[in-house]
Amino acid sequence: MNIAELLKYYNNDDILAELISQGKDREVATMFSKGFFGQRPSILMYKQEIIDQVRNGAVSFHMSVERWKNPMSLNATNTKIEMDELRIGWDLIIDIDTKVFDYSKICATLLCHALEYHGIKNYAVKYSGGSGFHLAVPYECFPKTVNGVRVEKLFPEAAQKIASYLRAFVRKKLSEMILELNSLEQIMDKTSKSEKELFEGEEFNPYSVLEIDAAALSSRHLIRMPYSINEKKGLVSIPIKKDEIEDFETEKAKPKNVKKILPFIQRDKAFANEANELFMQAFDFSKKIEEKISEPVFKKKVFEKNYEKIPPEKYPPCIKIILKGLEDGKKRALFILINYFKSANYSKEEIEQIINEWNSKNAEPLKESYVKTQINWNLKSTEYLAPNCDNLMYYQDLGVCKKDSICETIKNPINYHFRVYSKKKEQKKKKE
């Protein structure tokens, strides 16, 4: 779309009012036609500034999942403690992504049922502007504390636990409905997947053809704002009613067809503690998953990092496969790589080089600005490790879990080299 067409679309009082309303207490970033963000942090306060930014080349607007005391006080050097102090809340955003739009419809409908099953009525749905949907539960529905911790400080951990729980909750029905809609041959044709990639054991894995994520891989994560235009497809990210999902067609999201303006996240309509049951079940589910692990992810000497930097030939199979480049799941893979190489004694410069080379091999590389932000944030944190091997959201669903004999004995990819190192050390002692 050219600037004249963009101005014609955005110069609508109702659209401008909704953008400003949704941007309250949030960091808002402008994306330009060439695919790069404007200056961060930034905020939206006035209708005229939106129009001015469009005149200067802005195509879309993206907002933070988190809410802040003062978004303009954010910067690249904020520590986690500072972030926790600045954060006054966050919304649960569930992101559905797939190449097959019909699968996204099925998934969105099931997730709506799942939220309602857990007592949540005041949630919102919007078409993402691409090939999926966003479901949103406002912060006002959340419990005040979980296990004695203020819920605003439980980001992104709580959002990730809820997403994992919901994935498990809808998995069986999602699998059945996708198979009812398409035969295996049709699924393979639509997704370019082999039959082997579509199965986990003997069961069809619905997450081989779509993703359900919390938009919460790290702090300051952004999503496209409602009524903002997708830079690539030229479609509008429009809120819709839950009963419109099944019949929704992307034709309705063309700028010329956007007539009725529906609100997205409605803070004033939310009931306090409405999401209590969802939080309780998600945290219980996470605890059960953790209890399956009978030994710590790291032994003491691994934390001490008393081994040399792990060389490429000693990477575990999953890391080697990811580094060849991916078609789907690149954001989750980025999270894995940053934290694996951080734990593997690589410097920031080395990690940046490895990840930039990896990103260039992806079918559709991630935005350079996004990659840089993720590297900076995750390298500052001392809390994140690469996800455990049995994490529901990662290796198996990305199709990169190709276990060998060493993999069967470890709980986390970083343990792979340590286990090999220990084995060789024992063999050397025996020879001596």
- pLDDT of 143 > 90? The answer is yes
pLDDT of residue 331: 84
Side chain identity at residue 368, one-letter code: E
- DSSP secondary structure, 16-38, as one string: HHHHHHHTTTS-EEEEETTS-B-
pLDDT band at 297; cut points 50, 70, 90: very low
- pLDDT of 342 > 80? The answer is yes
CATH, domain 3-281, list 3.90.920.10, 1.10.3720.10, 3.30.360.10, 3.90.1420.10: 3.90.920.10
129: Cα within 13 Å, side-chain hemisphere: 22
Distance CA 158, CA 29 (A): 24
Distance CA 283, CA 266 (A): 26
pLDDT band at 393; cut points 50, 70, 90: low
pLDDT digits (tens, 9 = 90+) for 82-110: 999 999 999 999 999 999 999 999 999 99
Cross-strand partners of 136: 93, 124
pLDDT of residue 41: 92
Task: Report the range out of 20-34, 297-311, 358-372, 395-409 with the highest average pLDDT.
Answer: 20-34
Residues 148-174, mean pLDDT to the nearest whole number: 94
Q: Which residues of 219-234 are buried (b: 16+ CB within 10 A; e: fewer)?
A: bbbbbbbbbbbbbeee
pLDDT above 90 covers a percentage of the chain that reads 65
Residues 391-404, mean pLDDT to the nearest whole number: 79
- pLDDT of 380 > 70? The answer is no
pLDDT band at 294; cut points 50, 70, 90: very low
pLDDT of residue 395: 86
- pLDDT of 35 > 80? The answer is no
pLDDT of residue 84: 93
Mean pLDDT score of the chain: 88
- pTM score of the predicted model: 0.73
Going from N- to C-terminal start, the domains of the chain cover: 3-281, 294-431
pLDDT band at 264; cut points 50, 70, 90: very high
Side chain identity at residue 432, one-letter code: E
pLDDT of residue 7: 96
pLDDT of residue 232: 87
- pLDDT of 304 > 60? The answer is no
- pLDDT of 236 > 90? The answer is yes
pLDDT of residue 429: 54
Q: SS3 of 322, please? A: helix
pLDDT band at 376; cut points 50, 70, 90: confident
pLDDT of residue 55: 95
pLDDT of residue 421: 63
- pLDDT of 195 > 50? The answer is yes
Residues 129-150, mean pLDDT to the nearest whole number: 95
pLDDT band at 290; cut points 50, 70, 90: confident
Residues 243-251, mean pLDDT to the nearest whole number: 96
Note whether 71 and 64 are within 8 A (CB): yes
pLDDT of residue 337: 94
Residues 65-91, mean pLDDT to the nearest whole number: 92
Note whether 136 and 163 are within 8 A (CB): no
Who wins on pLDDT, 43 or 303? 43
Task: Report the range out of 136-150, 320-334, 339-353 with the highest average pLDDT.
Answer: 136-150
Lowest-pLDDT range of 1-15, 267-281, 351-365, 372-386:
372-386
